[in-house]
Amino acid sequence: ADFLYPLVQSWPVPSDTSETLLVQKDGDHVLFLNELRHQQDTALNLTIPLTESYVPAVMAVLGTTGPYIGKDYRGNEVISVLEPVPGSPWFMVAKVDTGDAFSVWRTRSLLITMIVTIVLISGIIAILLLWQRRQKYYYRSLYAAEAKHREDEEKNRERMETLLRLAEMGGATEQELSDFVLDAACRLTASPLAFIGTMTADESVFDITSWSKSVMKDCAVAQSPIHFPIAKAGIWAEAVRQRKSLMVNDYAAPAPGKKGLPPGHVPVTRFISVPIFEEQRIVMVCAVANKDADYTQADVDNLMLLMQGVWNKVRKRNAEEALRQKTTDLEAAYEEITASGEELQANYDELVRIQRALGESEAKFRETVKLLDEGYYRCTLDGVLIEHNLAFNRILGFDADRDLKGSLLPDFWQNPSDRSGYLEELMDKGYIRNFTIPAKTVTGRPMIVLASAHLTRTGSGEIEGIEGTFSDITDLRLAEETVRTNERELNALFQSMINAFVLFESVFDESGRFVSYRFVRINDAYERITGVKNDEVRGRTVHEVWPGTEESWVRAYGEVAVTGVPARFDMYHEPTKKFYHCNVYRPQKSSDRFCVVFEDITDRMRAEEEIRFKNVILATQQESSPDAILIVDDHGKVLTYNRNFVNIWNVPADLLATGTDEPLLRYVTSQLADPDVFLSRVLYLYDHKDEKSFEELLLKDGRVFERYSAPMTGETGRYYGRVWYFRDITGRKQAEEALRESEERYREFFTTSRDSVFITTPGGEWIDFNDTALEMFGYSSREDLMALPLPQLYEDPAYRAVFLEQIEREGYVKEFPIRLKTKDGTVLDTLITAVPIRNPGGSVRAYVGSIRNVTAMKRAVQALREQEEFTRTVLDNLPIGIAVNSVDPGVRFEYLNENFVKIYRISREDLADPDTFWEAVYKDPVFRESIKNRVLEDSASGDPARMHWTDIPVERPGEPVFYIDARNVRIPYKDLVISMVWDVTERKQAAETREHLIRQLEQKNAELERFTYTVSHDLKSPLITIKGFAGLLEGDAQSDDPLLLKKDVGRIITAADTMQQLLSDVLELSRVGKIASPSQKIPFATIAREAVELLAGPLTERGVTVDIAPDLPEVFVDHARIREALVNLLENAIKFSGDRPDPVIRIGADCTGEMPVFFIADNGIGIDPRYLERIFNLFERLDVATYGTGVGLTIVRRIIEVHGGKIRAESEGVGKGATFRFTLPGKE
């Protein structure tokens, strides 16, 4: 009873309706033996008649066992489990409300539905991502192909235009021809440097014809040579020596034939040297150099084709020259009739050869034009086609073999109005380049073409016609637009991903080994999870961004980067203190970049580890073995023990209260016959955590114990501690009587145990089993179960071999997990404990053991895990900050949600170490100690009303102040509290704004009352004066005395002037606050000098010296208003300068504080300190004898305050001068 009663009175599940009852039969009633959860004073008092058979407690005492659905003592429908208590007249009823029991399943169904939905959505997203990646790859490939095609077309068009232009340069000089060719060679190969020259007939000497202009400008070689013997020339002449084109992309590298550059020569990085052949002889050489990128074969082909055209032109010119010369010679020979027949025949043959070579060159040129990918045409000014190529027909939609010569150019303009602009530019410039035309084919299909053309002329220079080329770029334009659209969509998808995504670039060492990786790009989710920004990490290696990154990350990424095989893994990252689930893949086989998709699984990993630990503890505590059990953790701390352990060793209660195993070891060894062996074995097992132990212990009093010890490890292999089993086996050593008694006890256990106790043959056939086995496996008769061997109940027969192997190896099995099937096919989770019974020869005769059904327990553990996950999810998503922590002696956090650190403007890392909360949140030491002491005192009081703190300011250097409300709620039976925090900054600011507006309104009302009173008084005085002297004027008018009349009129005018001045000042005061012009950035010294200049007359008249300090700061103010304020202050200083012979006014600023404080100081009559605040009041005049209205300083203060500043007056007393100090904003 001492052992069972505390367990009955506790409920180790989160349900509010679960309850365990202990009852017994009392006559025709059921008597309740324990206090109930939902009703008071029930132990040995509450009874229920046996006639109420729907009550589970009644059915229990009537003999019903197992699950039962009925109504409890409250009348609520419940699900219960009924079991008798062995060896007693008691019965145990465990129950829970039906609705509460099934709530877990409803929650689980909802979770399963949500998981399936999430999986489906994730699958759809994954498919869309794969499709988009495929489309992106397709369009990038298409764009690259089109771009390459366009580049090739552009090169071909430029090359064709160059050749056409070359063909037109019939009248050009040799220098003009050379300059044109060099310029074309540089453009076609993107090279800044080039030269061209001819070879002597024996190919031994190269003569430079022309250099590119940039070479001559930059070259500093004295007496630059123009004749180069090939045998002595440098590496460029290898093209002649090897008789083939030469391409060098690394001029600095060692190479055969390299001579180096003379001093002053233009630096060379790379070059191409191309020889031009006529039959087998090299006739010309052209070279280009210093292209920004490497030269390609396309550059060689372009240069070769260009120079071949040049040579054809030169050869044609030479042929024409030779023809003219031969003609002249023939005419001379004919006239002189001196040439022999053989000479005439030789001259004729040479002329025929030259004409034939000219025809072949012309034919090659025409063949090149014919096979161009671009459309080519030549026509008259009237549009009649003279010549066209095959591409002309293909692009415009004509049959390929159709000859259009002699017909008019087709109307291929979509907008005929565009044609006039095209022709106007062509006629004006004589050529047109890369003109984009919305065109159409002869069938009406729209297209976009890129056209170039030039005017052709006769030998006399007259315009003969038009010659041009064009290409269809419709598909290229569509592809470019598609690629741009896809790029935008993909970028939006990339930035909106939930998971973190990062693109890395591999870093290899000199040996080609993967050693690191460099950030290329990250998305917003990566910035959110890790806290780093894209601009901060782009181009930096991981060791620069995250020093201390583990090599395991480098190895995992390197495997994917090198092999291209995608990988998925979970790994801990030390710099960020987080676990991540990573998917790594390389987009392209030949790419040196790879992508990683991250998911932060830190909370999940920690929760799983915590659950595994709790499961180990729960399984151990629920052990119902009759053995004495002691469980310690990995530090030797006692976690739990059972009652048998206390009884078997007679351990005092105060010894168990210490909580450690050291005093227990000392107490136990004092009872052993050989304590040293026992202690050394214990220490050995603590050092060798993975080993198990099974041995016998002899006690001093003659008893013999069996001791079994095994490590407790989780699924991940983590070592949690060690479990010790002790069993008193003294009885096995005693006489037959003791053995008989033991057999009887065993039979009683066999028949009454709630575990299935069995005896089987080595092959698994039943020898005996208890009734619990029938109930567990769902059989009604022993014969039915006896006919079915135990191995046939295995869900997986392969586990039989594992079972036999372990029992053979260990000599027993304990809590061997196995899934068994019942008669109706239900699968049970069970734990088998068994030992072999051996013959004297050592062979196994039978197996004896027990089977425990732990299906319900596993479900309970799963329900507990799900409940914990649900609670954590709710807390993580609350809109306020929540934490579970200790308060005293230090703040240590067991849990905190994301809003907790957000509201406090700190990070989780700031709270990683114990008791760093106060320093992380409150930076001011004085305030920190004050609020800390207050919280500790309020928390120690236990009064919930005191554990609520409002409007707590949090100030940090360089950051705006924010306000919080906080509340602590104690967790019963634990030294922990639930800390809640709200950000009330906006509420606090709104309240302060309201109070400020109220104060302003009160001030305005006070000023209004004072203004009303003063105006009514001061305006009344002049009116009374006017009225009085008007009466006198009336009387004096009858006296005929003009002096009296003049005096009366003067008094009336003075009173009217006073009233006019007073009204003007009041009007000016009312205008302050209405900004006359927008504020601007202006030096304060400029405003000061302007104010002084406006008062130059009074200053000079009174002999006042004004000293304006240098380097006055800039202010952001209404220029005119601040100048008006300075004028008023200066007038005030002039007016009250007194009789001093050397009056001085100083204008300066004190810039030592956070913002400058400007001042205007004088050495005049000063101010009584009692009136320093009063002088700013409306209509306030300390000296009524001095002229003024008392409004000037009020206007000054109003102007300063409208700009957000403050003003005050200082004076040591009368005769000590006065200083006015004020502040103004320095920026917007």
What is the pLDDT averaged over residues 693-703?
A: 89
pLDDT at 125: 82
Residue 606: is its pLDDT beyond 80?
Answer: yes
Amino acid sitting at position 23: V
Phi, psi of 163 (to 5 degrees): -65, -40
Q: Do 178 and 316 reside in the same domain of the chain?
A: yes
Write the DSSP string, 650-698: T--HHHHTT-BHHHHHHHHHTTBSSHHHHHHHHHHHHHSTT--EEEEEE
The neighbouring-strand residues paired with 91 are: 23, 84
pLDDT at position 345, please?
67
CA dist., res. 487 & res. 135, Å (int): 11
Same domain, 897 and 973: yes
Q: Can you give the residue range of the structural domain that contains 821?
A: 742-861
| DSSP state letters, 466-533 | EEEEEEE-HHHHHHHHHHHHHHHHHHHHHHT-SSEEEEEEEEE-TTS-EEEEEEEEE-HHHHHHH---
- CB-based contact 284:148 (threshold 8 Å): no
Return the minimum-mean-pLDDT range out of 566-575, 1027-1036, 1094-1103, 1198-1207.
1027-1036
pLDDT band of 259, cuts 50, 70, 90? confident
CATH number for 532: 3.30.450.20
Beta strand 205-211 with 193-199 is: antiparallel
CATH at residue 1166: 3.30.565.10
- The closest of 397, 399, 391, 393 to 368, measured between CA atoms, is 391
Regarding predicted confidence, which is higher, 96 or 875?
Answer: 96
* Residue 491 located in a structural domain: no
pLDDT of the residue at 1218: 93
Together in a domain, 1102 and 1127 = yes
* pTM value surpassing 0.85: no
Quick one: which of 708, 745, 824 has its CA closest to 777? 824
CB-side neighbour CA atoms (13 Å) of 441: 16
Residue 218 has pLDDT above 70, yes or no: no
Q: What is the band of 223 on the pLDDT scale with cuts at 50, 70, 90?
A: very low
Q: 531 and 620 share a domain?
A: no
In this prediction, what percent of the chain has a pLDDT beyond 90?
11
pLDDT grade, residue 614 (50/70/90)? confident
Per the CB < 8 A criterion, the answer to whether 204 and 230 are in contact is yes
DSSP states of 710-734 as a string?
Answer: EEEE-TT--EEEEEEEEEE-GGGGS
Do the beta carbons of residue 19 and residue 96 sit within 8 Å? yes
Residue 1205 contacts residue 1176 (beta carbons within 8 Å): no
Domain endpoint, select from 75, 103, 131: 103
Same-domain check for residues 962 and 843 = no
Whether pLDDT at 564 is above 50: yes
Say whether both 570 and 649 belong to one domain.
no
Least confident of 225-239, 354-368, 1201-1215: 354-368
State whether 395 and 507 are in the same domain: no
**H/E run at residue 176:** helix 174-189
Lowest mean pLDDT among 166-175, 527-536, 726-735: 166-175
* pLDDT tens per residue across span 807-843: 888 889 998 898 999 988 899 999 999 999 888 888 8
Q: Which run of H or E residues covers position 1066?
A: helix 1042-1071
| Domain contains 385 | yes
Q: What is the mean pLDDT of residues 859-886?
A: 81
- d(C-alpha 965, C-alpha 950), whole Å: 4
Per-residue model confidence (pLDDT) at position 644? 84
Percent of the chain at pLDDT > 70 equals: 83
Task: Provide the pLDDT for residue 1109.
Answer: 93
pLDDT (average), residues 180-208: 84
Provide the pLDDT confidence category of residue 339 given band limits of 50, 70 and 90.
Answer: very low
Q: Decide which of 574, 600, 626 is a domain's last residue.
A: 600
CATH number for 357 = 3.30.450.40
Instruction: Output the average pLDDT for the chain.
Output: 81
Yes or no: say if 156 and 274 are a contact pair by the CB < 8 Å rule.
no
> What mean pLDDT do residues 126-137 have?
76
Average pLDDT over residues 934-956: 86
Q: Which of 317, 344, 366 is the last residue of a domain?
A: 366
pLDDT at 752 (0 to 100): 72
Residue 626 domain-assigned? Answer: yes
Classified as helix, coil or strand, 885 is strand
The alpha-carbon radius of gyration of the chain (Å, integer) is 53
Instruction: Tell me what pLDDT residue 383 has.
Output: 85
Does the pLDDT of residue 406 top 80, yes or no?
yes
- Rounded CA separation 221/233 (Å): 16
- If 0-12 CB within 10 Å is exposed, 13-18 middle and 19+ buried, where does residue 491 land? exposed
User: Is 1096 part of a structural domain of the chain?
Assistant: yes
User: Using CA atoms in the order 144, 146, 152, 156, what is the torsion angle rounded to 10 degrees?
Assistant: -170
What's the number of CA atoms in the CB half-sphere (13 Å) around residue 375? Answer: 21
Is 1115 part of any domain? yes
Lowest mean pLDDT among 558-572, 669-683, 1064-1078: 1064-1078
- Return the pLDDT at 167: 67
pLDDT tens digits for range 1042-1057 = 776 677 677 677 666 6
Tell me the pLDDT tens digit for each residue of 294-303.
998 888 888 8
Helix (H) or strand (E) holding 370, with range, is helix 341-370
Domain annotation covers residue 1033: no
Residues 207 and 338 in one domain: yes
pLDDT for residue 16 is more than 80: no
Among all chains, which residue has been given the structure tokens 């200066």?
Answer: 1130
How many C-beta atoms surround the C-beta of residue 1046 within 10 A?
11
What is the structure's pLDDT at 640?
A: 83
pLDDT band at 343 (very low <50, low <70, confident <90, very high): low
pLDDT, one tens digit per residue, over 887-902 is: 877 788 888 888 888 8
Q: Which of 337-351, 528-542, 748-762, 1194-1208 has the lowest mean pLDDT?
A: 337-351
Query: Are residues 582 and 621 both part of a single domain?
Result: no
Per-residue model confidence as pLDDT tens digits over 55-88: 999 999 998 998 888 998 888 898 898 999 888 8
Answer yes or no: is pLDDT of 490 > 80.
no
Q: Do 772 and 888 share a domain, yes or no?
A: no
pLDDT value, residue 1087: 93
User: Alpha carbon 296 to chain centroid distance?
Assistant: 42
Q: What is the pLDDT of residues 1157-1187, one digit of tens each?
A: 999 999 998 988 888 888 887 666 666 555 5
- Express each pLDDT in 1012-1037 by its tens digit: 655 555 555 566 666 666 666 666 66
Cis ω on the peptide bond leading into residue 889 (within 30° of 0)? Answer: yes
Amino acid at 932: K
Considering the domain architecture, whether residues 801 and 899 belong to the same structural domain is answered as no
Average pLDDT over residues 210-229: 65
382 pLDDT exceeds 50? yes
What pLDDT sits at residue 1057? 66
Same domain, 662 and 764: no
Q: What is the pLDDT of residues 1139-1149, one digit of tens each?
A: 888 899 999 99
Q: What is the separation of C-alpha 1106 from the centre of its chain, rounded to a whole number of angstroms? A: 61
Higher pLDDT among residues 850 and 915, named by residue: 850
Mean pLDDT of 676-701: 89
pLDDT band of residue 1 (cuts 50, 70, 90) is very low
Residue 706 has pLDDT above 80, yes or no: yes
- Residue 868 within any structural domain of the chain: no
As given in the structure block, the two tokens for residue 232 are: 């002595």
| Higher local confidence (pLDDT), 604 or 150 | 604
Q: Rounded mean pLDDT of 301-317?
A: 78
Q: How many CB atoms lie within 10 A of CB 903?
A: 20
Distance CA 223, CA 211 (A): 14
Identity of the amino acid at 1109: A
**pLDDT score of 967 more than 80:** yes
d(CA 860, CA 972): 24
Q: Which amino acid is at 779?
A: Y
- Name the residue type at position 752: T
Q: What total number of domains does the chain contain?
A: 8
| CATH code for position 61 | 3.30.450
For the CA atoms of 334, 339, 344, 347, the dihedral, rounded to the nearest 10 degrees, stands at: -90
CB within 8 Å of 461: residues ≥ 6 apart: none
Asked if residue 153 is part of any domain, the answer here is: no
Strand partners, 1107: 1146
535 contacts: CB under 8 Å, gap ≥ 6: none
- β-strand partners of 276: 284
